Structure 1
Amino acid sequence: MSPAHRFDRGHTDDLMTFLAASPSPYHAVANTAARLEKAGFRQIAETDAWDASTGGKFVTRGGAIIAWYVPEGATAATPYRIIGAHTDSPNLRVKPLPDTGAHGWRQVAVELYGGTLLNTWLDRDLGLSGRLTLRDGTHRLVNVDRPLLRVPQLAIHLDRGVNEGLKLDKQRHMTPIWGIGRPVEGDLIRFVAEEAGVAAEDVKGWDLMVHSVEAPAYLGRDGELLAAPRLDNLMSVHAGVAALTAAVAGGEELSYIPVLAAFDHEENGSQSDTGAQGPMLGNVLERSVFARGGTYEERARAFAGTVCLSSDMGHAVHPNYADHHDPDHHPLPNGGPILKLNVNMRYATDGHGRAIFAAACERAGVPWQHFVSHNAMPCGTTIGPITAARHGITTIDIGLACLSMHSARELCGADDPYLLAAALTAFLEG
């Protein structure tokens, strides 16, 4: 391993374990909850009355989880420090009538979720994961983590111009195969139910998606890079859990109430009851204030002093397409977290937020970088502007530099996960 790698790779090893065990947002939430419980947090139900007790708590809803820690001495007006992230990634998701096929092939009907790089799903061994909803309203997670499906590309002999520009029809060309024969109605759900250990007749709903079964791996001559699925954005979820548990275990007196908010549906606009545009975060924060005996005035004071770091993956400069990047802003892997800025507020960062983030990185001893988009290209966005506008709280957009964003397999620096977690911990500790 190169001497340039200054950090213990234990954090990145643990991230790889988390990624492999979290092929769907529902698995990511379950694994996050398990880590929080191990750290002494307790799950509470949204349908229960909340009390004024201190300590770590969390709520889950579908593919979203919000956790917070109320320190001793916190008042109803104590502000929050929030790490915002999301659990979903672009992929292929199973349609309501999944059993299809043609010309002697059995296939699974899928719909495209988020801004998927379609070609990265071709000729790749795919598994199937998600959740089943049973007759009694309970859910069962399922993860078929072995080669089950494949979206085969047309051979070059039948498409001589393919290397001059691959064109994929989202309806006709992205349907994976999973066997030979005629499609049989109900076959896929019977198969998945058996994998989950439940009776097929008890399955009344499902939220299923495909995932690459190739494991995360170190890459490069000296292993200085990390290749893995779902870095966008389980990287930030994992770092957020590590930061939250480290901040509350540090033994220092906290001036803020630290929060981790990991939402679903960021990749398609966040408009859902588990997305950042929904009421979940606001409800949790307000109920926490009121449970501690707070008034609306104290709620307003708490929100006015609250700061959110919206953590998501960003773009490293691409060596083969450098002209697609701003010429003066070239984030690199292993250069530390990136601060995202856009004057049109596609990112929520302003000068005040920049100073808060810089101070956290300085306290953590972590280097950091800037990112802005090329002026001639549209800028992406995150949950940051949504969070700032919906809740009226100071929000800062950050992330890590990666290549192949929205691919079935993305690439980042192997030291950066630790650097991000360290910066987030310093931010929560204030």
Structure 2
Amino acid sequence: MTEHDFNQQLLAFLDASPTPFHATQKMLEQFLAAGYQSLDERDTWSLQSGGRYVVTRNASSLVAFTLPSDPVVTGFRLMGAHTDSPCLKIKTQPEQVTKGYLRLGVETYGGVLLSTWFDRDLSIAGRVSYQSTAGEIKHQLINFKRPVGVIPNLAIHLNREVNNGVAINAQTQLPVMVMQLGEGEKGSFNEILLQQLQTEGVSDAEQILEHDCILFDTQKAAVVGLQNDFITSARLDNLLSCFIGMQSMLSGGDAVASVLVCNDHEEVGSLSASGAQGPLLKSILKRVAQTEERYQQMIAASMMISCDNAHGIHPNHAALHDDNHAPLLNAGPVIKLNANQRYASNSETSAWFKWVCQQASVPVQSFIMRSDLACGSTIGPITSAELGVRTVDVGVPQFAMHSIRELAGTKDAYHLMKALVYFLQIERI
């Protein structure tokens, strides 16, 4: 696959994945098309040497794995990412009518860069749970696709100090305006969802029981710059890594046992049944190993690369970076390090990743946060602690992390995939 083809497929994946549910569905479809067998956690598994398998939980987290040889002997080559991104989530009973405008109340999910959500063409997507005409409880993904709402900014004439920095109140200033009502009309979000289900071909929905819906920006992902240097899109953090991991699995061959885990809920701490601090990955690996001793042997022989985007040095704010650890866009994937274990990288695992990049002819960089600034974290330390597996935290450098629209380089994701493909071919670590 060429870099151009890779990036075009990446853009399509980003546009098709407005929520963790949609991202997981798209990855599941691609794995199944490549011959992976879907497993249900409720069933008895009969895993075969040479088999390729995929499991989902909550329809928002995914684990894909291959078994070409005995993983107890060779260990697993693990890759991790997360499916969720900071966003605005629509409340269960969101209707607010003011001066004839129907607005939907929202909650902030994760560390949202709130100012970027104003004056955007917003749509709605997510999962709807409903009662069918036959009395069954069913679940359906929906995507309005077209712009259906906006959060209008207040004119500068009414807020003269806005350019000096103004706090944003999530309760009162973020409800999204979706409709202007006639006199005596009452807006109902559940009725809106019922109509959307019908539009998307669901004919048996009788009553909405619950929904898990978010707002998203309808502007398409794009390659930008005079020399096409950059990719700009929503949800680069961290669907970019999910796509890289998926393409690495599909391109990496079957030399050794390999795993891709894409967890939900990283942006809110990972503590959930489908998050990295939950039991999903461990339970699957234990079912592969079958006994506790074999599991411990397998983990000791394994290594994990946790992929989550890194902070590239911002040319307008260069002073906020450590000059010696300030990654550039399009200069290769980044090893993320932190003395206080906010990242799981250590000298052993960092050395391994540098060696992998050298073998794959991929440039590599390092990132350490300024010592006087707080550092973020990833699923790396959580998964490493849960499993006891050697782990390195890496990622593609980007700007505008947690904005409604983020920016990365056109070369870095492809470089990281090449490194991961090589990683999946190493017989002993």
Q: Say whether the fold is shared (TM-score over 0.5).
A: yes
CA distance in 2, matches of 1:342, 1:75: 30
Indicate whether 1:193 and 2:189 are aligned.
no
Q: Deviations over 1:274-294 (max 9, x none)?
A: 10000000001110111xxxx
CA distance in 2, matches of 1:187, 1:38: 36
Letter in 2 for 1:351: S
In structure 2, the partner of 1:429 is 425
Tell me, what secondary structure is at the counterpart of 2:147?
strand
Shift of residue 76, structure 1, vs aligned partner: 4.4
Distance change (3 Å), C-alpha of 1:25 and 1:192: same
Distance change (3 Å), C-alpha of 1:187 and 1:138: closer
In structure 1, the partner of 2:61 is 64
Q: Deviations over 1:309-333 (max 9, x none)?
A: 1100110001111111112222011
1:117-132 to structure 2, matched below 5 A, reads 117-132=113-128
Q: Deviations over 1:373-428 (max 9, x none)?
A: 01110000000110111111111100010000001100000111111111111112
Structure 1 residue runs without a partner (length 5+): 1-6
CA distance in 2, matches of 1:206, 1:40: 32
Tell me, what secondary structure is at the counterpart of 2:420?
helix
CA distance in 2, matches of 1:299, 1:93: 39
Shift of residue 47, structure 1, vs aligned partner: 0.5
In structure 1, the partner of 2:32 is 37
In structure 1, the partner of 2:21 is 26
Tell me, what secondary structure is at the counterpart of 1:406?
coil
In structure 2, the partner of 1:155 is 155
Tell me, what secondary structure is at the counterpart of 1:36?
helix
Which residue of the other structure, out of 86, 91, 100, is the alignment partner of 2:96? Answer: 100
Shift of residue 192, structure 1, vs aligned partner: 3.3
CA distance in 1, matches of 2:82, 2:395: 12
Distance change (3 Å), C-alpha of 1:75 and 1:383: closer
Tell me, what secondary structure is at the counterpart of 2:353?
helix
Shift of residue 200, structure 1, vs aligned partner: 4.7
CA distance in 1, matches of 2:97, 2:319: 42
Which residue of the other structure, out of 229, 232, 241, is the alignment partner of 1:236? Answer: 241
CA distance in 2, matches of 1:33, 1:413: 26
CA contact 1:193–1:203 (8 Å) conserved in 2: no
Q: Deviations over 1:233-255 (max 9, x none)?
A: 00000000100111126xxxx2x
In structure 1, the partner of 2:282 is 282
Indicate whether 1:273 and 2:277 are aligned.
no
Tell me, what secondary structure is at the counterpart of 2:174?
coil
TM (norm. structure 2) is 0.94
In structure 1, the partner of 2:294 is 298
Letter in 2 for 1:354: S
In structure 2, the partner of 1:321 is 317
CA contact 2:71–2:257 (8 Å) conserved in 1: no
Shift of residue 10, structure 1, vs aligned partner: 0.9
CA distance in 2, matches of 1:41, 1:353: 29
Tell me, what secondary structure is at the counterpart of 1:360?
helix
Shift of residue 131, structure 1, vs aligned partner: 1.0
Letter in 1 for 2:365: Q
In structure 1, the partner of 2:187 is 184
In structure 2, the partner of 1:169 is 169
Shift of residue 191, structure 1, vs aligned partner: 3.5
CA distance in 2, matches of 1:209, 1:343: 36
Shift of residue 61, structure 1, vs aligned partner: 1.1
CA distance in 2, matches of 1:322, 1:184: 48
CA contact 1:331–1:401 (8 Å) conserved in 2: yes
CA distance in 1, matches of 2:213, 2:13: 19
Letter in 2 for 1:43: S
Tell me, what secondary structure is at the counterpart of 1:421?
helix
Letter in 2 for 1:306: S
Which residue of the other structure, out of 248, 253, 274, is the alignment partner of 1:248? Answer: 253
Letter in 2 for 1:197: G
Q: Deviations over 1:40-62 (max 9, x none)?
A: 11101001101131311010112
CA contact 1:43–1:57 (8 Å) conserved in 2: yes
Distance change (3 Å), C-alpha of 1:137 and 1:61: farther
Letter in 1 for 2:187: V
Which residue of the other structure, out of 31, 37, 46, is the alignment partner of 2:41? Answer: 46
Tell me how large the CA RMSD over aligned residues is.
1.4
Letter in 2 for 1:34: E
Shift of residue 75, structure 1, vs aligned partner: 5.3
Distance change (3 Å), C-alpha of 1:264 and 1:316: same
Letter in 1 for 2:198: E
Shift of residue 155, structure 1, vs aligned partner: 0.5
TM (norm. structure 1) is 0.94
Tell me, what secondary structure is at the counterpart of 1:302?
helix
CA distance in 2, matches of 1:267, 1:178: 27
Tell me, what secondary structure is at the counterpart of 2:120?
coil
% identity of equivalent residues: 37
Q: Deviations over 1:326-369 (max 9, x none)?
A: 12222011111000000100000000011111121112110010
In structure 2, the partner of 1:402 is 398
Structure 2 residue runs without a partner (length 5+): none
